[in-house]
Amino acid sequence: MKKTVIFLFVLYTAILIDFTLIDDSLGRNIRFIFSNPAQLKEYLDTNVNLLPFATIELFIKGYRLYNLSFSAVITNLLGNFLAFMPLAFFVPAFCKKLKKWYAFLGAVVLSVAAIEVLQLLLLTGSFDIDDLILNSAGALTAFGIIRIKAVSEKLSAVTFGVWKNGK
């Protein structure tokens, strides 16, 4: 079972990297930050948000004004919220030191920040503080759900003890 969990983690990581950095159908077009100053300026002007909740507000306003479809809003906001939820299972299963919520949250924030920095360095996707907020909130929510005794016991039983609540 441990090999299966490791395989699932590698698969999840590959899918996450594809969605956040590579997938052309999601508008990803890898270019390197130092390859073309004009591309860097364009990226910084159009794909960087350092103001918390600005992108979230933009999507909600876009829907309210009928400029964005409901599915576009849900895909972006819910997609970002759900994207890092599996880490709530994998991280504590592999690293016993990260079973406390604050240690787990620190690991998630670092993971999300690493992807955001890679998006900046590769000029792909968007470098957005709201992604960090939504990704981290989703992972922490899943972490809280998994910590419910009944859920934790079921996960331990299903994984034959690979995942165990750290208490």
Record the pTM.
Answer: 0.86
Tell whether 15 is covered by a domain.
yes
Summarised one tens digit per residue, pLDDT across range 99-149 is 899 999 999 999 999 999 999 988 888 999 999 999 999 999 999 999 888
Q: What percent of the chain stands above pLDDT 70?
A: 94
User: Are the C-beta atoms of 127 and 116 separated by less than 8 Å?
Assistant: yes
pLDDT exceeds cutoff 70 at 166: no
Tell whether 166 is covered by a domain.
no
Summarised one tens digit per residue, pLDDT across range 44-101 is 999 999 999 999 999 999 999 988 999 999 999 999 999 999 999 998 888 888 889 9
CA dist., res. 97 & res. 107, Å (int): 11
User: Are the C-beta atoms of 97 and 103 separated by less than 8 Å?
Assistant: yes
pLDDT exceeds cutoff 70 at 162: no
Q: Environment class of residue 140 by beta-carbon count within 10 Å: exposed (0-12), middle (13-18) or buried (19+)?
A: buried
User: Are the C-beta atoms of 123 and 32 separated by less than 8 Å?
Assistant: yes
Tell whether 141 is covered by a domain.
yes
Tell whether 19 is covered by a domain.
yes
Domain encompassing residue 98? 2-27+36-158
Check residue 167 and give its pLDDT. Answer: 42
CA dist., res. 72 & res. 66, Å (int): 11
Tell whether 82 is covered by a domain.
yes
- Report the domain count for the chain: 1
